[in-house]
Structure 1
């Protein structure tokens, strides 16, 4: 198959990649996202036990393909199948009871890159003159995120409500540009609380073409209650919102990045992996001949 001149391999062909690389690595890891192998390899290699290796992360171009292969996979060779949380995370919908399927407890893998430590390293590397203690302080990081966290949380609660009541509406795919403003060329697009409020109201108004106000209010209230223990840093899409916002912040602090791919790779190299401990445990369990069951 061809897409814009670039070959797009069917899932069946991509599945066979695991067989080719099996002699070279200790575990096969299958993921959703195409064009993501280098980033995943850098990040997941940091979670591997000493002396164990992965040489190829295999993208299957979509969640359904990953889940389908996971259900069919009967080979004794160690394999882990990794999928995102998406809006299902906020809605408490999980792919449960599937052997060796690991569903992230964040919107997507990019959420784990949203990190003070990784951002600080990029600024230090780019500058060559700024010390780590001056690149970003913990207080500055808190102000940066907390100043917009509540508004972003409400935005994604509204997105999740629309997913239930008006699933045809465009929500997360509106992206960071819909809630940001270009104030200066150097800093890039900054979060705009007024625009966030406008998007929230627009989604509510459009959703009321599919439902009534009482149903909307009750559904939003229930989703908000059910999601009360989910951290905002996990609820908001890392790929579509947090990373563009972080790129803006890093640039404002003197840490230029070339592209989104470059930013992701450098963050994957430097970010804290503490929040990925459950994924690391799953990899170790499978490598030892055990299994994990999605929940």
Structure 2
């Protein structure tokens, strides 16, 4: 049933041929996905190809499976298959997901260089502009001072990065332990948009116990390997922590605590996309199936 459903979603590309110069397949199926991706991809590539919509398939496996089907087919349509950076960015095990035989040619498959598409929307200037549009009193500098975006990043980064390192190990070894689905609200004590250090540490301690109870590994060594590999990476919070599940809820909580501003999730993302720059993914169409 799942396979037929994915195939049905993929077949919709035929209906979009008159509107799209390139077929774009993505994971997320939330209500705003099509519009959000259309805005982002057109901005990122300076409208290199005309894109009116994208094709959401559900998850990375569905996108990868569909990519495999089209990889060797030349039907005259340009195609790109986009998956979230997810924990591939920490574990670097994309080939384990793609194929046990280690496919080396990834033509047409694009892995986002951040955890998910929402991570690209967490931009200080865009946030300040958005709040400014809805605030009849405060100017940009006052909003910037209240939001204190850099402080928010610093106060959350180490805590959440350490937590997501453990999540990546859970995913790597397929341990079946709840990870990103554990709501970030459970890790907070107030509406400041900053996680509680004590709650994070308790969560980390609990996860370490669960992991070592399920599998015999040198857990501290696994943590060390990942941290050494990624220690030079910039903006760890904004790159490796889920924007959709963790950063967006924290940011909305912070904004609500300082401003009378509470847009629904979908419109919040769309409006941010219109104010962001997406230079980091301007190469998304450099290596497509054509």
**TM-score, normalising length: structure 2:** 0.85
TM-aligned CA distance change 1:139 to 1:23, over 3 Å:
closer
Query: Are residue 41 (structure 1) and residue 38 (structure 2) matched?
Result: yes
Distance 2:266 2:156 in 1: 25
Query: Are residue 196 (structure 1) and residue 200 (structure 2) matched?
Result: yes
Q: Is the 8 A contact 1:81 1:100 kept in 2?
A: yes
Distance 1:51 1:101 in 2: 18
Per-residue Cα deviation, 1:23-46 (whole angstroms, up to 9, x for no partner): 112211110111221222222221
| Alignment match, 2:16 | 21
Query: Are residue 106 (structure 1) and residue 110 (structure 2) matched?
Result: no
Distance 1:190 1:259 in 2: 21
Query: Are residue 67 (structure 1) and residue 28 (structure 2) matched?
Result: no
Per-residue Cα deviation, 1:232-256 (whole angstroms, up to 9, x for no partner): 1211111111111111122233151
Q: What SS class does the counterpart of residue 81 from structure 1 fall into?
A: strand
Query: Are residue 240 (structure 1) and residue 245 (structure 2) matched?
Result: yes
Q: Is the 8 A contact 1:70 1:101 kept in 2?
A: yes
Unmatched tracts of structure 1, length 5 or more: 3-7, 286-290
Distance 2:165 2:134 in 1: 36
TM-aligned CA distance change 1:165 to 1:78, over 3 Å:
closer
| Alignment match, 2:214 | 210
TM-aligned CA distance change 1:122 to 1:253, over 3 Å:
farther
TM-aligned CA distance change 1:127 to 1:113, over 3 Å:
same
Distance 1:156 1:109 in 2: 17
Distance 1:51 1:82 in 2: 17
| Alignment match, 2:269 | 264
Q: Which consecutive aligned stretches of 4+ in structure 1 deviate over 3 angstroms post-superposition?
A: 187-190
1:12 to 1, 7, 10: 7
Q: Is the 8 A contact 1:123 1:255 kept in 2?
A: no
TM-superposed deviation, 1:50: 4.6
1:118 to 123, 126, 140: 126
Distance 1:262 1:139 in 2: 20
| Alignment match, 2:144 | 136
TM-superposed deviation, 1:259: 2.0
Question: Which of the two has greater strand per residue?
Answer: 1
Per-residue Cα deviation, 1:112-141 (whole angstroms, up to 9, x for no partner): 111101211121011132222222159922
Query: Are residue 170 (structure 1) and residue 178 (structure 2) matched?
Result: yes
| Alignment match, 2:230 | 227
Distance 1:188 1:143 in 2: 11
Distance 2:47 2:165 in 1: 40
Distance 2:207 2:174 in 1: 9
| Alignment match, 1:90 | 90
Per-residue Cα deviation, 1:192-242 (whole angstroms, up to 9, x for no partner): 111111111110111121235x71122222122222233412111111111
TM-aligned CA distance change 1:218 to 1:155, over 3 Å:
same
- Aligned Cα root-mean-square deviation (Å): 2.5
| Residue-pair matches, total | 274
| Alignment match, 1:288 | none
| Alignment match, 1:282 | 284
Distance 2:133 2:174 in 1: 45
